[in-house]
Amino acid sequence: MTARIIDGKAFAETLRGRVAQEVTRLKDGLGVTPGLAVVLVGDDPASHVYVRNKHKATVEAGMQSFEHRLAEDTTEQELMGLIDQLNADPEVHGILVQLPLPDHLDSDLVINAIDPSKDVDGFHISNVGLLGTGQKSMVPCTPLGCLLMLRDVHDSLSGLNAVVIGRSNIVGKPMAQLLLGESCTVTIAHSRTKDLAEVVRGADIVVAAVGRPKMVPGDWIKPGATVIDVGINRIDAPEKGLREDGTVKTRLVGDVDFDSCAEVAGAITPVPGGVGPMTIACLLANTVTACCRANG
């Protein structure tokens, strides 16, 4: 079998188009422009790239983008002061604090200071609790993007065996909650899981979110299963040659071994071009949702 490749980029473009239409409707109908504030503390190069991409996508959707880049040595008091200011700003409908924060800042404290109705990441403890009890909440962007793709592949997810590999607060746990909400039978596997291969072999749906390059081989996959790869890992790619400075070029790979898994799976997301583009599109969608809820 050769799997259907789930085109996350095309999915994301469609979703971003719908978001842009909704933004136009809000501007024309209510005179309100959805606004997203992104807070970045410190110099983490990957975070700078993510924040730049979020800004670009926000502006392209016709929304307001408020970027706050703070120095590495920003104090908790300064950061909390900014969050208070953004919470009170009627032009800001969504607030995202880019993680990870520098070690001296307590990310739980900072995230829980965000007004839950503006918490477009869905990380605030109120939103976590609402999702866990099946109530209306802000849903974390990466799991939401995965769910939208899964719903497209399957007419119904009800009763399917889903294995989520990874138990992070950002992806693994909320993904499991969403799948449970779809009436899947959900297993959360992690680094201490015994005989992971056997656990994964029982899955109709595999969501891999561990951050270990090519960790899931094709012979773990049940024939016809759907594989969603959340991993974004940079590895050396000597086959691409050397850079001018003599260092080896790199490439992105996921948490699953794409080639061997694609031979067995029914459908699979590629890396890049799978889950990644959907995450940003869902962030924009959550911001529009927050704006709609704030304006009745």
Does 232 carry a binding-site annotation?
A: yes
Identify residues 154-173 at the interface with ligand GUN (CB under 6 A).
Answer: 170
> What are the residues whose beta carbons fall under 8 Å from the beta carbon of 196, sequence distance 6 or more?
165, 189, 220
Distance separating alpha carbons of residues 236 and 183, to the nearest angstrom: 40
Does 168 carry a binding-site annotation?
A: yes
Identify residues 88-127 at the interface with ligand GUN (CB under 6 A).
Answer: 96-99, 121
The reply on whether position 282 binds ligand GUN by CB under 6 A is no
Number of residues that bind ligand GUN (CB under 6 A): 8
Q: In terms of Cα–Cα distance, which of 271, 273, 227, 278 is closest to 253?
A: 271
Q: How far is the CB of 133 from ligand GUN (least distance, A)?
A: 22
- Residue 64: both structure tokens together: 């307001």
Q: Quick one: 121 or 182, whose CB is closer to ligand GUN? A: 121
Q: Specify which residues 226 forms β-bridges with.
A: 205, 267
- Which residue in the shown chain puts its C-beta closest to ligand GUN? 99
Q: Quick one: 96 or 290, whose CB is closer to ligand GUN? A: 96
DSSP β-ladder status, 267-268 and 64-70: unpaired
Q: Quick one: 267 or 288, whose CB is closer to ligand GUN? A: 288
Max Cα-Cα span within the chain:
58
Does 218 carry a binding-site annotation?
A: no
Q: Where are the alpha helices (DSSP H) in 107-184?
A: 107-111, 125-132, 141-153, 172-181
- Residue 85: both structure tokens together: 């200011």
Q: How far is the CB of 123 from ligand GUN (least distance, A)?
A: 7
Identify residues 221-250 at the interface with ligand GUN (CB under 6 A).
Answer: none
Catalytic: 54?
yes
Q: How far is the CB of 69 from ligand GUN (least distance, A)?
A: 14
Q: Which one from 7, 9, 27, 98 is the annotated catalytic residue?
A: 98
Q: Quick one: 3 or 146, whose CB is closer to ligand GUN? A: 146
Q: How far is the CB of 219 from ligand GUN (least distance, A)?
A: 30
Does 156 carry a binding-site annotation?
A: no
* Per-residue interface string for the shown chain with ligand GUN, residues 129-148, x marking contact by CB under 6 A: ------------xx------
Distance separating alpha carbons of residues 144 and 138, to the nearest angstrom: 10
Catalytic: 121?
yes
> What are the residues whose beta carbons fall under 8 Å from the beta carbon of 65, sequence distance 6 or more?
35, 36, 38, 54, 55, 58, 59
Report the alpha-carbon angle 123-125-128, nearest 5. 65
Distance separating alpha carbons of residues 234 and 211, to the nearest angstrom: 10
Q: Which one from 118, 119, 121, 257 is the annotated catalytic residue?
A: 121
Catalytic: 136?
no
Instruction: List contacts with ligand GUN (CB under 6 A).
Output: 96-99, 121, 141-142, 170
Give binding residues for NADP(+) as ranges: 166-168, 232
Catalytic residues: 54, 98, 121
